[in-house]
Every structure is written in structure tokens, then in C-alpha cells.
Amino acid sequence: MAMKKIVFSLFIVVLLVSCATNSSFDLHTSLQEEYLNSPYDTATLYAKGVEENSKPQSFDISWKESVGPYVVHLSSSREDFTYKTDNTYFSFDNLLLGEKYYYSVFDKNGKEIIKNKEFKTSFHAPRLINVQGVTNVRDIGGWMTESGKRVKQGLIYRSGRFNENNSKEPLITEEGKNIVINKLKIKTELDLRKISDGENGGLEKSVIGDEVKYISLPMKTGGNYLILNVDTLPRLFEILKDEDNYPIVYHCSIGTDRTGMVTFILNGLLGVSVDDLYRDYLFSNFGYITALRTKNAIKDYVLYMNRFKGNTLSERIESFLIENGVEENSINSFKTIMLGGKNE
């Protein structure tokens, strides 16, 4: 009997260690996580668009003081970064979802203070991005599709504006520019703001830096954004079909209405569920967007798509795009880039 108790106790210990080892780190704050674990239409109970709560939760480490400055190394199967700091602590930001990371810390003399420790992030979308000076930044990837594939991360980002409306004055800080260029490796900024009234500040190049190609694709405001802007969709998909443009960030003013419509089209086409399309749109209330957003815009888009052929929302969006001049090969190229081929 005593032996059975010992064996059972050892089993419990092994189980607890296993669970601890396999646990993953959620990249959302407790407020964000509370919403993401609740029905999608409860967003306005947690955020109302008047405070900046759209930043991700960082993974924080610390160590005993040694001879600084320190070198911090972070790597995974898809990323490899080296940082320098004078502090005895560090925060890892803008991490991929569902990724196993390894980190080490070295002092000035090359002594390894932290040796190859690991952690894994959860696959809980959306993937939020911290770009200093810019609100409402997130990856459109990371969502599961109804076909069982997951939209690829690190290829397309949505955000608020990088410069003041009607001005060339940057909102993005130098630190934010460093994140966009060196961490996210953005190649193309797609600006959806209007030119006619000077909303985009008369920009001809990106305020992020000369490394980033600036493309203006003005979209109208003042009604159903989907219906108002069908004429822009062929050019949008001409941009999206070209792999050389990736990674891409697109934005309007606060990254909610025109940006939200484009995200509905893209992720809806890729097969992200209607509930997750609602959830992603409503998550913008966590950014500083100045006013509350409800589910009505997405509801209108979903209802409008019922006019088009298809058994699923994805098929109806594709029919809608083709009827409005988007070439089928552009759609297929975009899908392959974002979802991979049949064997991926």
C-alpha cells in the first residue's frame, strides 16, 4: 500500500512538472485576455476607444547584477535577435504566436549569466504589436481559418497612422521606426487616407524611412466603406499579389474603419470565421481611436456579401471581388502567400 502511494505521488509530481513545462505565455494583458475569453460582442465592456490599451504583454526577464553592459540573445525557428542593455532586466516584445523561444544573457566579459532558457507563446490571436507613437497595431495573421489552416504571421499588419493627419509631422517615434524596419522588416506602407482634402499630409514617401516603399490608395469615408471603395479593390490586390511588397502595413487614420473594412475582406477571403472577424474589428476599441466602435459595420458587410454566389463567406467575398474587377490570379496569389500551398 505504501509503495502504491509513493508511485502515485511520483506520478502527480511528473504530471505537474509536465504541465508547467508545456504551459504557454499569453501575449495579452489581463484586460485583453478577459475580453478574448468572453463573447466577441462584449468588447465595449472592456474598452471604449478612448485609452491606449492596444499594446501586447511583454515577456520580462531579469538577472543578478554583473559587469555591464549586457548582451541579450533571443532566437526561435523563425527569428534571431541580439540586444544590448545597461539594465539587469529586459522585456521581449512583439513576439510571434505559438512560437518556442530561447534566450541567453551575457555580461561585458562574455560570461553567460542566463543560459539558453526557453518559453513558448500561446496561439491566442490577435497578435498585437507595440510600435511607439502608433496606436492599434496588429498582425492580420495568426487567426485559424475554417479549413483548418492558420493565416501566416509577419506578412501583413494593420495599424493607425504614422504621421499626423493633414501634416507630415511623424507620430511614430525613432524607437517605433526601429521596430518597423528592423523587427517587423516592413517593405511597404499602404496609406488608405484621402489625398483630395490633404488627410494624408501630402506625403510622397513614408515617414518611417527611405527603406519603406510608400503607396497611397485613397479610400472614401462617410457611409458603407465597402460599397464606397469597390473601385480601389483591383489595385489593392495588384499590390497584394506581389511577394516583393511583403511585409506590408496598411492603415487609414486610426486603423479602424477603412482599415477594418480591408481586414474584413482579406481575412474573410482567407476563411477566418465570422465570429473572429467581429472580434478583430471590435478589438480596435482597445486602441486610442477617440470613439467607440460597435459590431454594426461588420454586420453590414456580412449581410451585403449574401448577395453574391458561394456557400461560405469566403466564397461570397471571392465572387464579390471578381464581380468588381479583381483578377482571379491576384486572389489566388494572395491566398498562397498568406496560407501556403496545398501541401503546407
Query: What is the β-pairing status of strands 248-251 and 188-191?
Result: parallel
pLDDT band at 153 (very low <50, low <70, confident <90, very high): very high
Say what the pLDDT of residue 4 is.
Answer: 45
Q: What band does 22 get if pLDDT is binned at 50, 70 and 90?
A: low
Cβ within 8 Å of residue 135, ≥6 positions away: 52, 54, 159, 160, 254, 255, 287, 288, 289
Calpha distance 226→195 (Å, rounded):
19
User: Can you say how many angstroms the Cα of residue 307 is from the centroid of all Cα atoms in its chain?
Assistant: 30
* CB-based contact 249:190 (threshold 8 Å): yes
Q: Does the pLDDT value for residue 14 go beyond 50?
A: no
More confident residue, 103 or 19: 103
Residue 6 has pLDDT above 60, yes or no: no
* Residue ranges of domains in the chain: 30-56+129-339, 72-123
Q: Which residues pair with 250 in a beta bridge?
A: 158, 190
CA distance 286 to 293: 10
Alpha carbon 171 to chain centroid, angstroms: 19
Q: What is the mean pLDDT of residues 166-173?
A: 96
CB 212 within 8 A of CB 188: yes
Q: Is the pLDDT of residue 17 over 70?
A: no
> Tens digits of per-residue pLDDT, 181-203?
999 999 999 999 999 999 999 99
**What's the CATH superfamily of 30-56+129-339?**
Protein tyrosine phosphatase superfamily (3.90.190.10)
* CA 334-225-265 angle, 5° bins: 20
Residues 93 and 128: their CA atoms lie apart, in Å, by 9
Q: How far is CA 235 from CA 1, 190, 215, 250, in A?
A: 75, 11, 11, 14
Q: Mean pLDDT in the chain?
A: 93
Q: How confident is the model at residue 210 (pLDDT cuts 50, 70, 90)?
A: very high
40-74 per-position pLDDT tens digit: 999 999 999 999 999 999 999 999 999 999 999 99
- Checking if the pLDDT of 343 tops 70, the result is no
Nearest Cα residue to 325 out of 244, 253, 214, 233: 233
27, 57 contact by CB (below 8 A): yes
Residue 164 predicted with pLDDT over 80: yes
pTM above threshold 0.75: yes
Residues 226, 229: Cα–Cα separation, whole Å: 6
What's phi and psi for 113, nearest 5 deg?
-85, -45
pLDDT at 23: 76
d(CA 252, CA 161): 6
